Amino acid sequence: MPDATQQVPDVKKCRGARVMTNTSSAGRCGILRSGVAPRRRSFMPCLMCRARAVDRPVVTEGDWSGRRARHHPSSASGGTSQAIPNSAEETNLNAYAMSDRATVVTPSRTAAVIPAAGRGVRLGPGAPKALRALNGTPMLVHAVRAMAASRAVSLVVVVAPPDGAAEVRNLLDAHPLGGHTPAEVLVVPGGTTRQESVRLGLAALPADVDVVLVHDAARPLVPVDTVDTVIATVRGGAPAVVPALPLADTVKQVEPRTGAAGEGGPERVTGTPERALLRAVQTPQGFDRRTLDAAHEKFAGAEGEGATDDAGMVERLGEPVVLVPGHEEAFKVTRPLDLVLAEAVLARRRATDGF
C-alpha cells in the first residue's frame, strides 16, 4: 500500500470525463462518467465503490467499465475504453483491492437473558411471579416481547424454574411474539439463585453473541427505546450499562433490624444520603459479554447485594459502569399494587398506541 502521507489525487474535468490529477487536496471519488480511462494510478476512498474510509488502490483491468455500469447505468454502453495497468506493481495492487473487497465480516449479535425462576412471595401465594397474568397474558410473555421488540436483539434466553422448563416452553409457544421478524426464544432450566440462573443463561449463548442484556421478568413494560439506548451505549464502548431514574423521595440509611425487633419494628436512622447523587436502577442492564462472563466466573456463589445485581458484580470486578436514562414504565412488579399500576399502563397503551 502507498504511504499515508502521499499526495491524494483531486478530481478535475477532462474530455467530458472525471480523471484524477495529483494535487494536495483531500481525496475524492473519481467515478468515471464516460469511456475515458484515468491517465495514472489513483487511490480513492469511495463509499460508492465499497471501499473503506482509507486510501486504497481501486484500479483494476476492465474494472472501470464495471464501476461505470454499476453507478452510472446510462453511460454503461457509451464507451469501450478500459484502464490498463501501467506496471506489475499496479497489477499487484489491483489484486489486493479485489481480494480485500471479498473479505467476509462476521456480524455480531445481541442476546437477552431473562431469569424467570423466582417465586415472587411478596405477590402472595400462587404461580411463580413471572407467570402471573397481566391483562390476561403472563408477565414473562410481556417481558420477552419487550426484548424482542428491539431489532438489535436476535435471541432471547428465558431461564425457567429448575423443574418448569417444559411448562415455560409451552407457555411461550402459546403466545407468539408477533411484530417484526421475531427473535429466537430459547428456554433453559435455572438454578436455586438468581446469580446461578443468569450464569446458566450465559452458558446457553452462542459464540457470536458479544452484547448481553440481563432483564427482570418482573419488568414487563420497559419501552423499546430504553432497550435500544442500552444496546447502543454498550456498542459505543461501555462494558456495563444500566438504565436508571433520579429518586423522587428522600432516602434514609438505617441499622439493619435484628433479633426481636422483627419486621415492622422501629429502625434507627444512621444517615441521610444526598439524593442528587442517587439513582434507582432498572433493567435491562447491558454488558460486553466477556466482561459479564468474567464477573460471574470470579464471583460465583458470592453473597450480598452485588450477587443479585449484575452491574454490581461488574463494579466489584473493577470495570466501569455507566447509567443511561431509564423510563417510568420500566418499574418492577413486586406487590399487588404494582399489578394494578401495570394494568393501567397497558390500558393507556391500548387507548393511545394500539398496543
More confident residue, 225 or 45: 225
| Fold exhibited by the domain 109-246+278-353 | Spore Coat Polysaccharide Biosynthesis Protein SpsA; Chain A (3.90.550)
pLDDT for res 176: 85
Q: Residues spanned by CATH 3.90.550.10 within the chain?
A: 109-246+278-353
Which SS3 state, helix, strand or coil, does residue 139 take? Answer: helix
- Kind and range of the H or E element at 245? strand 240-246
Helices marked H in the chain: 63-71, 88-101, 139-148, 165-173, 194-203, 224-235, 289-298, 310-317, 336-353
- pLDDT, average across residues 190-202: 93
- pLDDT, average across residues 32-54: 40
**288 near 240, Cβ under 8 Å?**
yes
- pLDDT, average across residues 151-180: 90
Q: Give the confidence band of 65 by pLDDT, cuts at 50, 70, 90.
A: very low
pLDDT for res 131: 83
- pLDDT, average across residues 146-171: 94
Q: Give the confidence band of 105 by pLDDT, cuts at 50, 70, 90.
A: low
